[in-house]
Amino acid sequence: APGVYQLASLLVELDASDEASRILCADALYQMGCAEEAHKLLLLALSRNPQRSPILVRLALLQLKKGFMYDGNQLLKKVIRIGDTSCLLPIMDIFKDEDRKLMQTHCHFRALTILKNKQED
């Protein structure tokens, strides 16, 4: 992760508008345990492109890790509204095992709650 971070940082220096390099930097920071720095980079990338599902999903995970369930849910809802959920599986490979389980469990329970509420209606 440190080598990936250094390479991605150089790419960002060469082209500050390169979103993929920013996301790669954020992923490397996340892998190195620097969640706050990753969060800041993702927020910057999101400010430039608020409809990017890969950024929203990463931010949702970071919010869930902090215990901010409402914020995480809102970000996941936005991804669903955008309709670009194809990024979810590849991103899950980036997450650490404990975070992957957190995201899967959270989404599973939210889906069950939604289904239960619809059945009651």
Please tell me what DSSP assigns to residue 95.
Answer: S
> Number of folded domains in the chain?
1
Q: What is the mean pLDDT of the chain?
A: 88
Q: Is the pLDDT of residue 38 over 90?
A: yes
Q: What does the pLDDT average to over 64-90? A: 88
**Domain CATH code at residue 19:** 1.25.40.10
Tell me the average pLDDT across 64-73: 90
The percentage of the chain sitting over the pLDDT mark of 90, rounded to a whole number, equals: 31
Return the ∠ at Cα 90 (arms to 89 and 96), rounded to 5°.
90
For residues 64-91, give the mean pLDDT.
88
Q: Which pLDDT belongs to residue 43?
A: 92
Single-letter code of the amino acid located at 101: K
Range of 33's domain? Answer: 1-120
pLDDT-above-70 percentage for the chain = 99
This prediction's pTM = 0.81
- Has residue 13 got a pLDDT over 80? yes
CB within 8 Å of 2: residues ≥ 6 apart: 28, 32
What pLDDT shows up at residue 103?
Answer: 87
pLDDT of residue 113: 86
C-alpha pair distances (Å), 66 with each of 19, 39, 41: 24, 11, 17
The answer, yes or no, to whether residue 84 has pLDDT greater than 90, is no
CA angle 91, 96, 101 (to 5 degrees): 85
Calculate mean pLDDT across residues 83-112.
Answer: 86
